[in-house]
Structure 1
Amino acid sequence: MKFNIGKPEFIKVLQRIQGIVEKRNTMPILANVLMESSNGRLNIMATDLEVFIKDSSPADVSEDGSVTVNARKLFEIVKELPSDKVDVSTSKEDRVTVKAGKARFSIMGLPSKDFPVFPAIDDSRLEPVDSDNLKEMIDKTSFAVSTDETRYNINGFLLEKEETKIRMVATDGHRLAFIEKQDLKSAVQKEGVLLPRKGVMEMRKLLDEKEGEFLLGVTEKSAVMKKDATVISVRLLEGEFPDYKKVIPKDNDKMAVAEKAVLLASLKRVSILSSDKIKGVKFSFLKSRLVLSSSSPDIGDAIEELDLDYSEEDIEIAFNARYFIDMLEALDEEKVRINLKDPLSPGILRPEGSDDYTYIIMPMRL
């Protein structure tokens, strides 16, 4: 294998795959990137066996070939090269030589034949998707995904179709976020699929690229996103997502409306003196005002009052401040609607004037 490629183009394709390169040494080759040069292009691929990413860039190819080499080391080398042009070649022993200017690096590689095969993609199953809508759905639910690896069925997102709507749901058992969109075209199955967090967040990175058409498709075993030469294939999670509809309270009739920015800033201040372990803050809903308070026996206490549109009976309830802040930071709207029932029941948060986005948060005992 022998090719010459522009440094910016090389960096771009190598950076694309850094997020999924396997850090653990269960299979050494998963720490590598597969490089193939042919027909005037450099094709690369990386995987952790759950997420597969491939990309391509024009290159001056003088000798076809393929090899795998440590993805992180290669990326670090290319970033620091002194020239805008990079020469890459391989030896029979799968040693990769990288040259630019007066710099030369030689890296041990592994045979390309041992690298996992990229899953077959059926382009007929891919449909155009509104990138802004999908990006919003991910941003407003990703913080609620569980990081507890023993609960694998909630280590990702539920994506389902209901009539003309597409819905994305995430939960960690303490909170739940779901959002639905009317006009998001996608080949999503009606009964829903479970998408792993890591794969979805790689798709989210791709969605930041403005130009080009985004295609999305879901099969029985995987979800695929494609944009130009970039393809991301994500293996679906197995298991059954909790019946989230059962945990959405039906009779939270005490409604308050707050200025999002004011509530967010106040909550951040008061939570500074909450317990580091549980981050609990007490919410006292009174006529036309909300009192936030926190205390930690070894540190001190804090209290702050803010205006609130509320005319129901007084209610005092405690929430995890971090969970509350996460939702407020995801909101684009200026006001947030809070629906409560009693101190022991979950609270419902929604942007004022819309029911497309719902956030459920469990109360705490302080």
Structure 2
Amino acid sequence: MKISANRDDLLKPLQQIVGVVERRQTLPILANVLMVVKDNRLSLTATDLEVELRTHTLVDCKGESEFTLPARKLMDICKALPDSAGITLEVESDKATLKSGRGRYTLGMLPAQDYPSIEPAKASDTFKLPVGVMKRLIDKTQFAMAQQDVRYYLNGLLLELRPGRVRAVATDGHRLALCDASFDDDSEIDTQVILPRKAVIELGRLLDDSDSEATFEISNSHLRVHLDHSSFTTKLIDGRFPDYERVMPNGQTTIMLSEKDTLKQALTRTAILSNEKYRGIRFRLSKGLLHLQAHNPEQDEAEEEIEVDYDGEEMTIGFNVGYLLDVLGVLDGDEVQMAVIDSNSSSLITQKDSAECRYVVMPMRL
């Protein structure tokens, strides 16, 4: 079989799916991409048995064929070719030869019938959501997911669905990120699912800021997302997410208002001399002023002072500066609002005059 395509048309879907391919896999075939050719359409599928991504592109060919090729090698060859270069792929029984210009590259194949497929059970809930809304929820919260925590349900993102509202929540036990969005949907959906960390990252890469709608299908153990040119399937984490509402600071809070960029720059400079392991920074609040201080075992010390809108009692709180910078990196607006209780209580960070995205950061002892 002979397949002709433009380099750019083949490279884009390969770049989309290659993140799903595991670098260290137990099954050699999981390093490959499944390619199915039919009616001048090339479908590409990648999976690691937890996450599966399918996409397609148009090519010029006669007949039908199924085969698998090494995903990263094929992508690297296409990436190294000149823009808009013509590509010819000649497929034989056990190998494929890619030709472009005077270049010739022969790749080994594995049988398509051995390629695994994720087939979720029939969907129990289905809803539609603008692609840009889902991307925003992921972008605003994914940084707070845990990494390889023994509490496996923290190594992912909670999606909570209610009629006309969707909420994303992530926490690693030291900080929490929550973002709400509303959408037009007539269904009476009321459910919670936990997406694995890798699925969240890959879905965030796949989605864009467009207003086009994606269809989400939830079964008892999987989530499938149908997009214009691709479909994404992931297993769900089977566990109970913590009651995040209890983490939200309650009680008598005092509000500090600050210019977001001013605070971010001061924190970035002070962080340079913080302890590399614990990243601790001391917040000292007084009327109209925020004093920042950091030091490390090498006896280096950094101090910054910025003007803020604060009229409460003097207070000193320790924070992990990396957590604060992560929040400021995703927060919208020019002003940041920080609700504080005392030196031993978590603080709530939001954009001024908006509670759509809320961030909780626990204090640390310094």
TM-score (norm 1): 0.94
CA distance in 2, matches of 1:186, 1:255: 38
Aligned to 1:268: 268
> Is 1:157–1:196's contact at 8 Å kept on the other side of the alignment?
yes
> For structure 1, which runs of at least 5 residues remain unmatched after alignment?
none
Q: Which moved more, 1:322-331 or 1:193-202?
A: 193-202
Local SS of the residue matching 2:3? strand
The total of aligned residue pairs comes to 365
> Is 1:145–1:172's contact at 8 Å kept on the other side of the alignment?
yes
Local SS of the residue matching 1:276? coil
Q: Which moved more, 1:282-291 or 1:348-357?
A: 348-357
Q: Which moved more, 1:221-230 or 1:288-297?
A: 221-230
Aligned to 2:225: 225
What's the CA shift for 1:123? Answer: 9.0
5 Å-filtered alignment, 1:215-364, equals 215-364=215-364
CA distance in 2, matches of 1:313, 1:185: 46
Does structure 1 residue 88 correspond to structure 2 residue 108? no
Residue type of the partner of 1:88? L
CA distance in 1, matches of 2:211, 2:6: 21
Residue type of the partner of 2:179? I
What's the CA shift for 1:199? Answer: 1.2
Residue type of the partner of 1:137? L
Q: Which moved more, 1:58-67 or 1:289-298?
A: 58-67
What's the CA shift for 1:164? Answer: 3.6
Local SS of the residue matching 1:129? strand
Per-residue CA distance 1:261-296 (angstroms, 9 max, x = gap): 111110111111100001100000101110001111
Local SS of the residue matching 2:29? helix
Residue type of the partner of 1:111? P
What's the CA shift for 1:163? Answer: 4.7
Alpha carbons of 1:249 and 1:355: their partners in 2 closer, same or farther (altered >3 Å)? same
> Is 2:122–2:219's contact at 8 Å kept on the other side of the alignment?
no
Residue type of the partner of 2:199? G
CA distance in 2, matches of 1:342, 1:264: 22
Q: Which moved more, 1:318-327 or 1:253-262?
A: 253-262
Aligned to 1:206: 206
Residue type of the partner of 1:90? V
Query: % of aligned pairs identical?
Result: 36
CA distance in 2, matches of 1:192, 1:89: 47
Aligned to 1:143: 143
CA distance in 2, matches of 1:233, 1:106: 31
5 Å-filtered alignment, 1:168-179, equals 168-179=168-179
Residue type of the partner of 1:100? S
Q: Which moved more, 1:240-249 or 1:112-121?
A: 112-121
Q: Which moved more, 1:100-109 or 1:315-324?
A: 100-109
> For structure 2, which runs of at least 5 residues remain unmatched after alignment?
none
Q: Which moved more, 1:127-136 or 1:339-348?
A: 127-136
